[in-house]
Structure 1
């Protein structure tokens, strides 16, 4: 590491900025971006050159083009080729055409780089070949395939271990399973180890036991983590909090290990999946419920043996105030209290920065300590404190101290999770931001307040005592951070551990929530191999088989998979689902709804016969336990897929569009030559609103043919305005989709090329239509004012 400097100005809890500033950072790295590893392979070097040339200006922290202060879409590590190689969200090892990174650059939507308005400034064929070779080579260097572990082996392993425990401990012993992660071929060994560390970290972060929980492998693969409940200061009731909401529980008449395990442990669900655990128990309100935190800030103080008001009045606190925290929308004041287990940092957050919301004018507060006359008026707060084992606990509260599950985005935002809703969710957002403990901050209040003679001498004396200045505050930051590092290492966790490039608990949450479920993963979660699932699919019934066939082409979002899981488990395996209090509140796409409706497991959108319609309804019925509601990706309102994943030149192609909500549809075809055409609306086809929950098959008449090899991207947009459509087509040539390749209008199209997809409404004769398909796509409709989009890339091969 070269010369380093303290990074300043980041908030106390919530989201991190793109650069992790909890430790001393490398100034050269900050200024110049991510260098190529010294031992880079030729393939890595070639890929790095392409990514540096075309992508780093928008997506590499430290190399952003003029005018950008933060990476676009929250993606700021494009030149970290080894981190990219570990993240299946961007790169599928060995398979370029399935990798989002390659798809987008090859001709996805929007075209990349998105500041390029002409195909001449996009990567050349030889440069695309470099990316393709790099991704292909990753498959060759991947570790050996892991041995598949079926459900029967998991339960046999758990029963064997439980039988070895003393009889008086068995009903207090539970298990966290890594089975689905172990079986997933897209999870590298490095990520698997990081997901294991994430699970251990979260268990400790949910414990009031002063002893650190350390995982000792029950088996050589690390498939199961044994949880003796008292080791985490848990009891049966705390496990039941999770058990009641767990959607993947099962029972069986044919698996003797499972039934015996359930009897011996005294619970129907003795095993819970690590990925579900990380996504759900890390997020409030379950986070509060499992950790057992009080409903009010006052109650939390009593629980921790803390008297904040007394500490403030007796000048036993350390404060710092600043305006740009990276988390809080306005100014923020942070305050440290001593705690028997370590420290208690809290923040005072404001919805504005004027009058009583300015701690420069009113540096003392809260009102409960200093009275109305001299105090600032905060709008909420966030706290981070040391648990008895040295890990950290987190708390969000309103002005009056009432506990909050989610921080209001008008005051704080989670910018560390670009695929999220921006909400700061207590627990997971804080763990992600504080991946290495306390974050360094500067203080801007002391100097201003001490020189403000409008403040009384008494006020300035108090300011002098509780705002000690940057050096003193940073000494506390350093001490608290080092203590957290030591605690992580005591649990066997390297503080530098990343899961798919993220803080490990966040990484495992993203794995569960945001990575869509494909055919291989569906089989895995059902306890089957792909071959076993294929063999059984023919006997699953028409609707179930249709969905499974769709999964071979287009994966589905986590919330939809959770809805169909019990149906498929019952139909395709020897296990039966256990119905819990979990309710899927998502609107479902057509193919998913067909599987669920009319089955005993059709609990979508209702509880106790009462429909869940609004967000308030969802909260009333406990749907805040559903981590997917904070994910924009998982809540996708639009699904698009084709009848096959690959085609040969000349093959007909059908596109299936399934919106979750009413949709004014636009379909755009973009090929890897960066040529694009509008498939729908199209002259001769009725432009209708596609109803939510229905399926639209395109083309409804005529034929859509493939005409040349390459990677074809089909982009579906709901309710896109002219500006939105134009943005998606920026950087592409606007061409005609018409079969006879005649320009539809001179205003819209200036060139004609042999497009990969050709739409012919009259396969028996030439397309004689001359009406302009134009750029007026009926703009935004009243059915859904938001622009929602989805895309799929298919490979067209030579004959």
Structure 2
């Protein structure tokens, strides 16, 4: 065959391939073609779990019922018109993105002209159940594709159980987006790096710990392992090999659990490594608040004040400082509006009751920090100072609540202070300094726009949506809801019928709360399922449960007797929820992980106390008792144990696994030993440095 004939045959083959693809595309139902466009361009915002699902949901029934689409009439269908450009009812879609190309718009038009047939009426291929062993082999294949050096930094998040349980494509899409946003919002890495799917179904995601600096200073994954209640050492040689390759006991965790847990304290604080006081945080971010306020108003710090805010009950002052990675915003919030809490008469020497800090991470996303008046870190804010009025649960919890409020980065506000200062002819404060500090509107607006733009760029890189509602909040509620048999079965890696058959055949499982899963519409609460999970895994011969929650509690206070009812009028680390209620009474508000008592809070894991904050306005009845043989030298130092600190300093008013707080002062621990402290002049610690011999 000569060269010309070969070339001719090649061209004919290419043309045949092109026309076969064209014919296949043309034969695809127009409804599926339209949905493919919606799926690619619209569902992150307007899917069932999208950020703007409250405005419009791309579900066929909804589009027809609310007349966004009028079958047969594209020129009067609002959805189609908004693809062409702005209308009287809103801006061109997709919002903030490039307009759809002409072919895509033409496809949507043809779909509407054809009567807008329902893509949901076309049966979808049945999903193949992904076994635990298949999941393990997929992860192992990926791990072994890495260099031997890189494998110990490889970790994975899974959505396999949700896929097996029949979660909708919309739901899975929302989880993927939320996982990327949260992982990058817990990162000190310089870039936004999305978790990488490693399977065809996109249910297993790979991360490199080094990308997020989770390997620096302390092993952040170890903290995740400790908090994870669903860890199982599986009866699988693949699992054993995988653990060896990654040098890790739990190389993967479920993404839905991670999203629901790492978006809230204590894990939110632990992964980010947020210190116990705002002063320590400011040192970390190279922000000197006192020096900025004294010497650099209008240069390194700008301030505004107002009496109306989305979360503050009373007056609020906001302050922007330059920081290492962009902006460091600090709010001052008040329990009242009179006396020194009247910001309009005390713009420089007000007395605040708490605050919120928002600061840029190196990748441009934002992190959050709640504080007391003296700068101690809080898990949740006192409801008499700030509240989430638009939520079913009004308590502002660090991390999750802040993300939900700041989906557009910094919120735009209107300063009321500067004009008041300008009009005050004979103020009792330094008017010139106040005018230097409280910025002109144009200057403050420019700074806010700069910070919004930084956040917008970062959230786009993470694959998230700018603005709207926060999908992470929706997914946390979903995770905390009850489980039916299908979801419970998927969480242990079994198909539903096999799982229920095992329950029916096992007398111990029948005596548990799980028997209800076999009845019609039966379900089990998340906390009940979590408490039964280890038993179920063991009786189903799936492996050994590796719940480390009690290990965390033991690290806090090894001498505490467990499971013992306290009758001395106090509760402590390891106390149950019932014991807290018996001592403290009914909480003002509660969630699965915390009780709140008018500014004070108690945090739980596996229904046992692991942290608290005791407000001086409403102190908790808490106590830590040091071991009997603990010496009291009158001071503690670097290397002292927690018992030795308590023997000298007493019960801390705030407590977590890694630190004790004492009214503005704080002590930090590693391996149960003091590694550093901050001693506030308002409440100095009995700490002493001992010179080495």
CA distance change for structure 1 residues 416 and 226 in 2, over 3 Å: closer, same or farther? farther
Contact 2:503 2:509 in 1 (8 A): no
Residues 1:242 and 2:221 aligned together:
no
1:437 alignment partner, SS class: coil
1:540 Cα deviation from its structure 2 partner:
1.9
1:542 Cα deviation from its structure 2 partner:
5.5
- Structure 1 residue runs of 5 or longer lacking an equivalent are 1-32, 50-136, 365-374, 586-605, 624-628, 638-659, 661-799
Contact 1:151 1:527 in 2 (8 A): yes
- Corresponding residue for residue 503 of structure 1: 470
Contact 1:327 1:412 in 2 (8 A): yes
Residues 1:444 and 2:416 aligned together:
yes
Equivalences for 1:173-184 in 2 at 5 Å? 173-184=154-165
Which of 460, 470, 482 aligns to 1:489? It is: 460
1:616 Cα deviation from its structure 2 partner:
8.0
Which of 214, 229, 251 aligns to 2:209? It is: 229
Residues 1:167 and 2:140 aligned together:
no
Q: How many residues align?
A: 473
1:614 Cα deviation from its structure 2 partner:
12
1:565 Cα deviation from its structure 2 partner:
1.1
Q: What is the TM-score normalised by the length of structure 1?
A: 0.55
- Corresponding residue for residue 305 of structure 1: 286
- Structure 2 residue runs of 5 or longer lacking an equivalent are 1-52, 69-117, 554-559, 578-586, 596-606, 608-693
- Corresponding residue for residue 358 of structure 2: 384
1:312 Cα deviation from its structure 2 partner:
1.4
Which of 379, 384, 390 aligns to 1:405? It is: 379
Deviations 1:621-669 (A, max 9, x none): 799xxxxx999675999xxxxxxxxxxxxxxxxxxxxxx9xxxxxxxxx
Higher relative contact order (CA 8 A, sep 6+): 1
Contact 1:330 1:352 in 2 (8 A): yes
CA distance change for structure 1 residues 243 and 630 in 2, over 3 Å: closer, same or farther? farther
Which of 242, 267, 279 aligns to 1:286? It is: 267
1:142 Cα deviation from its structure 2 partner:
7.9
Contact 1:206 1:291 in 2 (8 A): yes
**Structure 1 stretch 297-306 or stretch 307-316: which is displaced more?**
307-316
**Structure 1 stretch 485-494 or stretch 274-283: which is displaced more?**
485-494
1:144 Cα deviation from its structure 2 partner:
4.5
- Corresponding residue for residue 575 of structure 1: 543
Contact 1:416 1:433 in 2 (8 A): no
1:260 Cα deviation from its structure 2 partner:
1.3
Residues 1:206 and 2:190 aligned together:
no
The 2-side partners of 1:612 and 1:483 are apart by 51
The 2-side partners of 1:163 and 1:391 are apart by 32
Contact 1:294 1:303 in 2 (8 A): no
Contact 2:303 2:319 in 1 (8 A): yes
Equivalences for 1:633-712 in 2 at 5 Å? none
Residues 1:536 and 2:516 aligned together:
no
- Corresponding residue for residue 358 of structure 1: 342
The 1-side partners of 2:569 and 2:230 are apart by 24
Which of 260, 270, 274 aligns to 2:241? It is: 260
Deviations 1:186-232 (A, max 9, x none): x3212211211111111111111112222332112222221221111
Residues 1:427 and 2:393 aligned together:
no
User: Greater helix percent: which structure?
Assistant: 2
Contact 1:557 1:634 in 2 (8 A): no
Residues 1:554 and 2:526 aligned together:
no
1:538 alignment partner, SS class: helix
The 2-side partners of 1:403 and 1:308 are apart by 17
1:424 alignment partner, SS class: coil
Q: What is the TM-score normalised by the length of structure 2?
A: 0.63
Deviations 1:85-144 (A, max 9, x none): xxxxxxxxxxxxxxxxxxxxxxxxxxxxxxxxxxxxxxxxxxxxxxxxxxxx99746855
Equivalences for 1:95-114 in 2 at 5 Å? none
1:330 Cα deviation from its structure 2 partner:
1.2
Contact 1:544 1:568 in 2 (8 A): no
CA distance change for structure 1 residues 393 and 634 in 2, over 3 Å: closer, same or farther? closer
Contact 2:195 2:207 in 1 (8 A): no
Which of 130, 155, 167 aligns to 1:149? It is: 130
